[in-house]
Structures are given as structure tokens and as C-alpha cells.
Amino acid sequence: MTAIVAEDVSRAYGDTVAVDGVSLSVAEGEVFGLVGPNGAGKTTLVRALVGTTDAEGRAELFGQDPRAVARERVGLLPQSFDPPARLTARELLAYYASLYDDHRPVDRVLDDVGMAGDADTHYENLSGGQQRRTCVATALVNDPDLLVLDEPTTGIDPAGRRQLWDLLSTRAEAGTTVLVTTHYMEEAQRLADRVGLLTDGSLLAVDTPDRLVAEHGGDALLRVQLTGDDGGEATPTGLPDLGYPVERRDGRLTVRGVPPEAVGSVADRLSAAGVGYDSLAWTEPDLEDVYLELTGQRVVKGEAVAEEAVV
């Protein structure tokens, strides 16, 4: 069964095109991640899919117009959410639970999101991460068939983020469809069954994280931080033949295509040539590399930054 269908969905604000002809489908029980920097069109697309903004094209939830779907079936957390600050976390969640004929026990939901110990703290006195976890709870309290979360882990510490990932994975295993937007590449790679890469309102690619990385991620990289602020005064002008393509910039070497078993031989060649270095870091390609390959931009703290030319 299909939970979400979009066909040629577009939305413009005056001369600004926020979503440009997006088509996708999400199966029931799937975790689908929409990935891209701020301004890529993620929030507008989510609003079009759930029917909170008008858009051209066709969008359906469970085979119906989004506005016709029973509200109990959908849990929605917008990116911007400003609940009453003078309510405690428990009071806030109890209020949202009261909007539904059937709902999950409030205390159990608070425990799920790691807020049981702070349930009686006023919302305005919670940390940013605690506020966001409380907001996630409001989208879970009605036990929805479809959970739509727009940047759910913004402001949450790494431990809390992983706790929410585990919670969402558990919900999906129980049959809940999850649509999550994020600019955290690790989050998408860890959580999503499939990922859609969005830029400038257009969907560039959709596939599993592993397939996207295999097709577009490029080579494994060995990053060598050279000794000294600018690459080291003792570093020779010429570099030895390392056996792999090398880029040099800002005191760092990037050696492409090095398998993990060859890192030692590269280090030996540098040392033999008198090239001093402070650290070696080997990394496999990830979704960040995929996004760079497809767009020429990196996603850094939620912003797209053009990759500089290698000198």
C-alpha cells in the first residue's frame, strides 16, 4: 500500500519557485527522508503533501486528498512550532491529546521522547533540545498512521538525537509511515529506508542511502593534515608519488581512492620523503559526498556552500 503520492507538485510565492515539479511515492511503513539545506524547498513540499498549503499538481495521502484524511491518522510537527510557554510539558501534551477521541497515554509518550523526568517543567524553562522533544511528542500522542516531522532533531544533543532515531525506527517497524526532513546527512543515512535529495525545489535523486552513495558518492578519501599552519615550512614543494590522485589545499592533502589496507603505505611514502603530518583520517563516501557530486554544494550547518576549486 502507498501512504504518500506526489505527482508534479509545484508551489511558487510570487516569482520565487519553492517546489518545482516534484514527484515521489512513499510506501506504508517506510521511513522516507527529504534531505537538503535550508531553502531547498523541504518545508514547502511537506506542507503541500499534507494539505496545509495550496500547490499545483496532485498529492494524496492513503489514496485521498490530504485535506480529506481523518486527522487522527496524521501526526505533524512543523519546523516552526510555538506552543504555549506557560504550560508544563505534561500539560502541553495533555492538551494535544484532548483533541483526539483516542490517544496514547501522555506519560508513556513523554517517556518515549526522553521527557519523563522533566514533564512538570514549564515549556519556557526547558532547554531547546527538551522543547523540541516535547514538540515531537505532540505529533506522536494520537498514535498516527503517518508521522511527518520537519527538522525534528534541530537543537537536540547527539544522545537525544539517537534516542529519537531509535524511537522512529521502532514506530516504522510497527507499521507507521515516517516522512522526515533533515539537513543532517548522518540522520538521513542512519534513519531512512530511502532518501530524496532536494535542491532549489527540485528532487535530484531518490534511492536507498547505500545505493545513492554507491552510484554518486565517489572514492574513499584519506585526508592528511600537514605539519604547520600552511602545510609546514619543512614540507617539500614537490610531493612523492603516493600511488593515488592527490589534491593539496590549505595545509591538507586529500588522497582519493585509497583502500583502508593501503593507508600505511601512503604514510610510509610521506615519511620517507620528509613530509611532516599531524594526522591521517580515512573516510568512506557518504550522503554529503553524494549531495556535493550532484549539486556542486556541501550542506554545512543547514546552509549550502559552494565547493571551492582545488588549486
- In sequence order, the 6+-apart residues with CB closer than 8 A to the CB of 155 are 128, 129, 131, 132
In a domain, 152, yes or no: yes
**231 shares a domain with 199:** no
**241 shares a domain with 198:** no
Q: CA-to-CA distance for 291 and 299, rounded, in angstroms?
A: 8
In a domain, 293, yes or no: no
**161 shares a domain with 18:** yes
Where does the pLDDT of residue 179 fall: very low under 50, low under 70, confident under 90, or very high at 90 and above?
very high
In a domain, 249, yes or no: yes
Where does the pLDDT of residue 237 fall: very low under 50, low under 70, confident under 90, or very high at 90 and above?
low
**What CATH number is attached to the domain comprising 204?**
3.40.50.300
pLDDT by residue (tens digit) across 105-159?
999 999 999 999 999 999 999 999 999 999 999 999 999 999 999 999 988 888 8
**262 shares a domain with 119:** no
Annotate 103-158 with DSSP letters as a single string.
---HHHHHHHTT-GGGTTSBGGGS-HHHHHHHHHHHHHTT--SEEEEESTTTT--H
**237 shares a domain with 118:** no
The three-class DSSP label of residue 278 is strand
In a domain, 232, yes or no: yes
Which amino acid, residue 149? L
Where does the pLDDT of residue 233 fall: very low under 50, low under 70, confident under 90, or very high at 90 and above?
very low
**236 shares a domain with 176:** no
**238 shares a domain with 117:** no
**What CATH number is attached to the domain comprising 230?**
3.30.70
**254 shares a domain with 106:** no
pLDDT (0 to 100) of residue 13: 93
**236 shares a domain with 116:** no
**pTM given for the model:** 0.82
Could you tell me the CA-to-CA distances from 70 to 60, 83, 142, 144, 178 in Å, in that order? 13, 23, 12, 10, 17
Q: Averaged over 41-62, what is the pLDDT?
A: 96
**231 shares a domain with 189:** no
Domain count for the chain: 2
**76 shares a domain with 223:** no
Of the chain, the percentage scoring pLDDT greater than 90 comes to 71
Q: Averaged over 178-206, what is the pLDDT?
A: 94
pLDDT (0 to 100) of residue 297: 78
In a domain, 270, yes or no: yes
What is the domain extent for residue 251? 219-284
Q: Which of 21, 67, 25 is nearest to 44 (CA)?
A: 21
Task: Point out the domain boundary residue: 214, 240, 259.
Answer: 214
**9 shares a domain with 78:** yes
- In sequence order, the 6+-apart residues with CB closer than 8 A to the CB of 194 are 26, 30, 31, 32, 33, 206, 207, 208, 209
